Structure 1
Amino acid sequence: LEIASIPINKYSVVYENADLGIYVQISPHTDLQFNLIKIFNKKGFELTNVERRKIENIFFRGDYPRSSAFEVGRLYYPTHNAESYIMFVSNFINKEIIAKKQFKVIVDCFYGATTHIFPSLLAAFSCTATVLRGQIREFNSTEEIRNESRDSINGIKNLAKLNNEIGVIVGPHGEQLTVVDEEGSILQWDDVTTLLGLLFVKYRKVKELYIPVISSSRLETIANEKNVMLKRVAKTLVFEDEFTIFSKNPKPVYPHNIYEYDPMIAFLLLLELVAREEKKLCDIRRALPDSNMYHIVLPCPVDAKAVVMREIASTADGHVELIDGVRVVHDDGWILILPDTMLPSVHVYCEGITDEARDKIIKDYSIRIQKITGKYARGIP
């Protein structure tokens, strides 16, 4: 594929019926010293930690001799992938409704690979895109990334507010996407997934909605109003195929996985919601149920994570759910303790019926976690 974004890589694996997809990029914040390699299975999903570890173990054991290029295979350069991808996206989004609205969008491609596809994708849906930093820059230093990220956010916020248009910053590789509404406010991850859930509940009449354990309760409120069954699931899921995620009438719907599998499609779904509502994105966002969810990170030794999870689950005085991490539901709110998969820390998510109730829950459980890790450090059982 030469230079291509991650969503195109995922799609091409499925489109070309390949066995594997590999995406190589310069790892950011390492001063160009390391490469970051992502591997996708034949359905376009990134390999799990367990699968990656198996590959690493086989590689570092050195059981297999090196093979020549002729033994491994041949290079194949597929054609018309961009056009095919745009047709693929059109299967899952109401093109006529978006085209009728004639959106004007400010797009910052961040000198990345999405420059080749995202403006063309928007044009296919009759959107007029004002493209910023739409050239490919193969190398960015750590300092450049840091400074330009800050300038990019401030710049697109000001432009969106000045022009009364929706703005979007697409990560260099297409796996992150930041949406800015017409008032210059940034939509958080929970805002985007809630709006996607609203689209499927209100206009596509789905009856089942699955959200990750880290989501706020806003979609629960929306689902209850529409008599839709809602279930919390683990954040990372593997589906049968990509059509399970993006189908116009999927059963059930996983809004967070739509955003994580292909943020560009998620953005078009947001435009479809705005077109259907016939309101500004900022007004739709403002009408969502209130949420005071808060997220903090607490230090926790890697070896102590299991102890913390076990102690919290066994001593909690509320309803305990063990879907992903430990989630405890109280009468005045809920809290989730989720171990970090890489760093020596645990993530704490909390939401309460009031700010005071939320803060009290966070304080109580933070003290518990600190006591458990302190005892573990001193070797006290």
Structure 2
Amino acid sequence: MSKPIVSVSGIRGVIGKTLPPEEALRWSLAYGTMVNGGTVVLGRDTRPSGEMLRGAVLAGLLSTGCRVIDLGVVPTPTLQLAVQHWQADGAVAVTASHNPAEWNALKFFEPSGMYLDAEGLKRLRAIYESGAFKRACWNEVGQIQTDATAIDRHIERILTCVDVERIRAKKFRVVVDCVNGAACFISPRLLERLGCEVIPLFAEPTGVFQRDPEPIAENLGELCRVVRETRADVGFAHDADVDRLAIVADGGETLGEEMTLVIAVYHVLAHKERGAVVTNLSTTMAVDEVARQFGVPVYRTPVGDINVSKRLKEVGGAIGGEGNGGVIYPRVQYARDAIAALALVLEFMAMHEEPLSALVKKLPRYHMVKKRLPIGTMAVHELLERIKQRYTAEEVIEEDGVKLQWDDHWVHVRPSGTEPILRVIAEAKTPEYADRLCDEVIADLRQFLIP
């Protein structure tokens, strides 16, 4: 049987193929050993395979003496907040986030609530490979404690960070697409607390996804239709574990996943506080334009929630995130939190009389194309080296794959942390140029691939 994909984004695989329960058990034994039988928060999304993997994870943690705080089905950012609440030694989330239903994953967290970083993953992998697991004797086996209030605490934290009365006064009509995932338990509730008329879509927590769970434009046709037909002020869409947010404006136009962060950055800098912005190397240049408008610096990191979160905390920034719809607002927590992002977008809308469709036209906007290329058997570093030699750019950044940067466009080639592919991302002033740049790089890469 093939092995799962291992990265700071988690241990990911296909159920029945690359992520059997014994694999989940072994990784959980390793993690329980790493935290020395401490307190671990556990949660999952709604995928049908989640209960099976939860059992394997529980067995591994309890057998190493861990005290497990079981949240049940919760958004990943809710779990991350709970780590702080319980002053836990870490956490495990059973979720494959935006991946299709046949996938699942184990995500591991630090005591801060942030993901394990590369060094933490290295230590975890070493324990996994050694098989030298902590073994609790009969009277030291861990215990399970249930926490049924984690979502309530998450909602209350968010409500302290936005102008609730201003939002309530607008009485927004909102369509929310929960993709039958963990958002079912939180997004409609938060919207109701904010005085919105809520129109739920795919809001049964069955884990049977009625669209691809990745909240990108091509997967949001039904949300666009419902926003148009109900004359809603806005539509929101999540992935399965609620760390990403996509937006559909009034009239039913998808804004594109990059615009979620652009709106949040503009709103925080314009109306809440000035401070540095942190984002990853694959995020739109529109973030830089907004930051320049308010005279604050932008720091770029390799792709990955943990990379952005750690840098954001280091520099004491006002806001950060990733262009896939993941917003990190430190007043809530140092984690991608689609529920916090949703509240920030509504607060932004509440501060203006114009509809969202008009407001976004005032923000800088580039055109981004994201494509993928299966890489076969050739070593990734060889492909990246060829691309670096092939193109002459104003700046070459090798911190995460290879990014070729020019004044008003760029292309970024990097190995995926969640799939066996190369991601090729290009951004430019026009969609045609971005698409052409992306295709040109992919064509060059294909020449080097071993059949």
Q: Secondary structure at the match of 1:254?
A: strand
Q: Secondary structure at the match of 1:168?
A: strand
Indicate if the aligned counterparts of 2:279 and 2:308 stay in contact, CA closer than 8 A. Answer: no
Indicate if the aligned counterparts of 1:43 and 1:241 stay in contact, CA closer than 8 A. Answer: no
CA distance in 2, matches of 1:203, 1:230: 18
Q: Deviations over 1:193-229 (max 9, x none)?
A: 1111111232235242233211222223333333333
Q: Paired residue for 1:55, among 106, 124, 127?
A: 124
Tell me which residue corresponds to 1:281.
Answer: 356
Q: Paired residue for 1:116, among 185, 204, 208?
A: 185
Tell me which residue corresponds to 2:383.
Answer: 308
Q: Paired residue for 1:20, among 82, 90, 103?
A: 90
Q: When the two structures are superposed, what TM-score results if normalisation uses the length of structure 1?
A: 0.81
Question: What does residue range 8-47 of structure 1 map to in structure 2 within 5 Å?
Answer: 8-24=78-94, 29=100, 36-47=105-116
Higher normalized helix content (fraction of residues): 1
CA distance in 2, matches of 1:133, 1:357: 36
CA distance in 1, matches of 2:365, 2:247: 19
Tell me which residue corresponds to 1:254.
Answer: 320
Deviation at 1:22, TM superposition (A): 1.9
CA distance in 1, matches of 2:432, 2:176: 39
Indicate if the aligned counterparts of 1:196 and 1:255 stay in contact, CA closer than 8 A. Answer: no
Deviation at 1:251, TM superposition (A): 2.3
Deviation at 1:121, TM superposition (A): 1.9
Deviation at 1:74, TM superposition (A): 1.8
CA RMSD of aligned residues (A): 3.5
Q: Paired residue for 1:94, among 149, 159, 163?
A: 163
Indicate if the aligned counterparts of 1:338 and 1:348 stay in contact, CA closer than 8 A. Answer: yes
Instruction: Specify every segment of 5 or more residues in structure 1 that has no aligned partner in the other structure, as ranges.
Output: none
Evaluate the alpha carbon distance shift between residue 354 and residue 10 of structure 1 in structure 2; reply closer, same or farther with a 3 A threshold: closer
Tell me which residue corresponds to 1:7.
Answer: 77
Q: Paired residue for 2:287, among 210, 219, 228?
A: 219
CA distance in 1, matches of 2:275, 2:432: 34
Q: Secondary structure at the match of 1:183?
A: coil
Q: Deviations over 1:105-141 (max 9, x none)?
A: 222334333333222222222223233444433x53x
Evaluate the alpha carbon distance shift between residue 279 and residue 302 of structure 1 in structure 2; reply closer, same or farther with a 3 A threshold: farther
The aligned amino acid for 2:317 is: K
Q: When the two structures are superposed, what TM-score results if normalisation uses the length of structure 2?
A: 0.69
Runs of 4+ in 1 over 6 A off after TM superposition: 149-152, 239-242
Indicate if the aligned counterparts of 1:106 and 1:160 stay in contact, CA closer than 8 A. Answer: yes
CA distance in 2, matches of 1:23, 1:355: 37
Q: Secondary structure at the match of 2:145?
A: coil
Identify which range, 125-134 or 249-258, moves more after superposition: 249-258
Question: What does residue range 1-381 of structure 1 map to in structure 2 within 5 Å?
Answer: 1-24=71-94, 29=100, 36-48=105-117, 51-52=120-121, 54-59=123-128, 61-64=130-133, 66-67=135-136, 70-78=139-147, 80-137=149-206, 140=208, 153-165=220-232, 166-238=234-306, 251-256=317-322, 258=327, 261-301=336-376, 303-314=378-389, 316-319=391-394, 320-331=396-407, 333-354=409-430, 357-358=433-434, 361-371=437-447, 373-374=448-449, 377=450
Identify which range, 309-318 or 213-222, moves more after superposition: 309-318
Q: Secondary structure at the match of 2:146?
A: coil
Identify which range, 351-360 or 316-325, moves more after superposition: 351-360
Instruction: Specify every segment of 5 or more residues in structure 2 that has no aligned partner in the other structure, as ranges.
Output: 1-70, 329-334
CA distance in 2, matches of 1:95, 1:128: 15
Identify which range, 101-110 or 8-17, moves more after superposition: 101-110
Indicate if the aligned counterparts of 1:194 and 1:255 stay in contact, CA closer than 8 A. Answer: no
CA distance in 1, matches of 2:277, 2:254: 25
CA distance in 2, matches of 1:188, 1:318: 27
Equivalenced residues, count: 365
Deviation at 1:4, TM superposition (A): 2.5
CA distance in 1, matches of 2:247, 2:270: 21
